[in-house]
A and B are shown apart, each in its own frame.
Chain A
Amino acid sequence: MNSILVLILGAVVIYVGYFIYARRIDQNVIQPDAKKATPAKMFMDGVDFTPASRNVLFGYQFKSIAALGPITGPIIAVQWGWFPALLWIILGTFFIGWVQDYGAMMMGVRREGDSMGALSYKLISPRARNILMIFLYFYLLLIMGSFGNAVGKTLMINPKVPLGMIAVVLMGILAGQMTYKWKQDIIFTTAVTVALTFLGIWLSTTAPVAKFFNGLYGLPESPVWFLGNTQAQVIGTLLVIVFCYLGSVMPIWSFAQPINYISFWIVSLGVLGGVLGMLIWRPGMGDFPAFTKFTTASGPLWPMLFVTIACGAISGWHSLVSSSGTARQLEAETDAMPVGGGAMFMEMFFAIVAFLTATAAFGGFQGYQDAGGAGKALAVFSGGLANFLSHIGIPKDFGTAYGSVFLTIMALTIMQLVIRFMRVASAELVGEKFPAMKNVHVGTIVALILTLVFVWVIPWLTIWSAFGAANQLMAGLALMLIALWAMSEGRKHTWALYPAAFMIVTTLAALLYLAYDNFFVKLPKAATAQAGIAAVLVGVIALVLVIAAAILVYDGWKALRKPQEKKAPAKA
């Protein structure tokens, strides 16, 4: 299939999904009232509850939900063939993705800006909130493990990447200084720092720099150093850890925030250039098979495909951002659809572009495999992006380095904030029992050690599947909460309940499969201590998540039955 046809198909799905299905649910079922006061107006505190225009919030929501997930998931999932991957991106967004993002947002607006924790406490059961916290902590650990693995063990070991990444960091710090300390104009600051970042990326492709990092990494044959990881992988991971440490302990205005800002431009220009190159080139998928086989390295198509592509089809994290973040800033109820639904459909388009970098940019299946395949999804993306960019005159060598830096920085900007979050969360959770955990450095170091264990021990595809399953399970629970809320308001709720049932059953099956695969297939075959520890770790996490989800589903089912029990006539 030609890439342009896929893009057109995506545009048609967005039109039908957003303007017909989603709008019908919005207007006929939820019935938003533009005149009703929103939490942003009722509880305005100038911080969390602050009204903002729908356009600003659309940008904010899209930036908050679109990161590495919609890129990585589709590239791994095409190992089952392009057809199932594309079908899940489209149908997942059409029937489930926007339902969750929009539903969580409306639920937050109608329930006075309550967060997901508070909503699960009120709508499901008191213990539901604590279970949600357990989910959240494991989810964050799995994010750190999977992103750390992808960056530290795949992208950073390319000697043409580290200098580009250092350039982004230095320019981010400079942007923070220029804005906050030297009070420079933001356009001037952006122009200078983005231009210098590109210069740094170009320098990273030059021979002397590559030679230096080749020496540091012990390339071309990097020796194995620790737990089966090569010298390049250990150094690459440690660079990531140092970055995350600084991101967690330094003031947010001087490090995390300006680096995020610079990386926004690097990423946006890359995506824009890639799409432009694709439109000029108009490649086809060549011999890329529509369907390969039912069971691949990631497991059987059902349920594993549905957790491999999380963002881009549906992601549980969006429900947290939609309810706690955006719902408290909506000016009017009627803005929820363009902001929540619109941003999700836009993310689907982003996922389709990533899908095409794997299927169309290499001319066929062999090209995809040669570029790294599912096992090196991020390398596939940077190679595919470089191929697209070459059609607008950008040299492939620079394009590959650019694509790698683009992905590296995309992951790192998230990781530094997750570590910051974990530090705060662990201080609150165990700070009373272990006062040392309240110390900024101790909390950060503990979170980073846990991350290192995950990165060095667990293989990439396994940890990505576990991360996807945790994420999608959270989505299923959020959808259950939305159905409960719709029911509590006396509205139709099947539009959220059926997707919830599908997501919960599928993700529980995925977690059970992961537990079985790790305990009964991988553990007996484990040749090294590292492989054994990885199998036990993933198996235990999968089981903990299954038990937590089973309790939540049981409580949710009881909450769902409550209104029906009330309506039923009392037995004599």
Chain B
Amino acid sequence: MEPGSIRNRLQRIAHAAREMLYGMTTYEWAQSARRERAEVESLFVLVSFGDLVGLPILPPYYTLRLLPYVVPAINRWKRSLLRERDWTDLSDLIGGID
């Protein structure tokens, strides 16, 4: 086996180990930060574009001015807001339970 390939293999193993460690430790922090950001974003879109789900709140003038900034988030916001949920959806919040 060439030394280069051994080095490549070792690098791949080290990379995988780093990723696993990240998964076991701070990945949860990143997830939680994403969740918090999404909650704020979801509230903002609901306040400004609530009429998309039947809640007219802001006058259209302001809505139109905000529209270009919100367009990229609208699809995932609707999907996330309208998704049916139950308790079992919360189970990933208590990982490592047993």
Residues on A lying within 8 angstroms of B by beta carbon are: 43-48, 50, 52-53, 55-69, 115-118, 129, 132-133, 136, 143, 179, 186, 252-253, 257, 260-261, 264, 268, 310-311, 315, 317-318, 320-321, 323-326, 413-414, 417-418, 420-421, 424-425, 428, 471
Contacts and interface: CB of A to CB of B under 8 A. Distances in A.
A65 B22 contact: no
Contacts of B27: 52, 56, 59-60
B11 interface: no
A444 B35 CA distance: 22
A315 B24 CA distance: 20
Nearest to B91: A320
Contacts of B20: 55-56, 58-59, 62
B14 to A, nearest CB: 11
Most buried by B among A48, A413, A414: A48
B91 to A, nearest CB: 4
Contact of A324 (B21, B26, B38, B92): B92
14 contacts: A46-B38, A52-B23, A58-B20, A61-B23, A66-B96, A129-B86, A132-B88, A136-B87, A261-B25, A317-B97, A321-B95, A414-B97, A421-B87, A421-B90
Contacts of A45: 38, 76-77, 79-80
B52 interface: no
A328 to B, nearest CB: 8
B76 to A, nearest CB: 4
Contacts, number: 158
Contact of B96 (A44, A63, A132, A428): A63
Contacts of B35: 47
Given A46-B38, A48-B80, A69-B98, A57 B91 contact: no
B13 to A, nearest CB: 10
Contact of A117 (B21, B80, B87, B93): B87
Given A118-B86, A143-B97, A64 B92 contact: yes
Given A186-B26, A257-B28, A317 B98 contact: yes
A170 B29 CA distance: 18
A47 B92 CA distance: 12
Interface size class of B (residues with CB under 8 A): 35 or more
B38 A47 contact: yes
| Overall SS of chain B's interface | helix
A268 B21 CA distance: 11
Most buried by A among B28, B32, B94: B94
A118 to B, nearest CB: 7
B88 A115 contact: yes
B16 interface: yes
Contact of B98 (A257, A261, A315): A315
Interface of B: 15-16, 19-29, 31-38, 76-77, 79-80, 84-98
Nearest to B92: A325
B89 A115 contact: yes
Nearest to A50: B34
A420 B19 contact: no
A46 B32 CA distance: 11
A53 B20 CA distance: 9
Most buried by A among B22, B93, B96: B96
Given A129-B86, A133-B87, A264-B24, A63 B95 contact: yes
A418 B97 CA distance: 8
A417 B94 contact: yes
Given A60-B27, A253-B36, 7 more contacts: A48-B80, A63-B24, A67-B96, A67-B98, A260-B28, A325-B95, A421-B93
Contacts of B19: 53, 55-56, 59
Contacts of A61: 23
Given A45-B76, A47-B80, A64 B96 contact: yes
B90 A59 contact: no
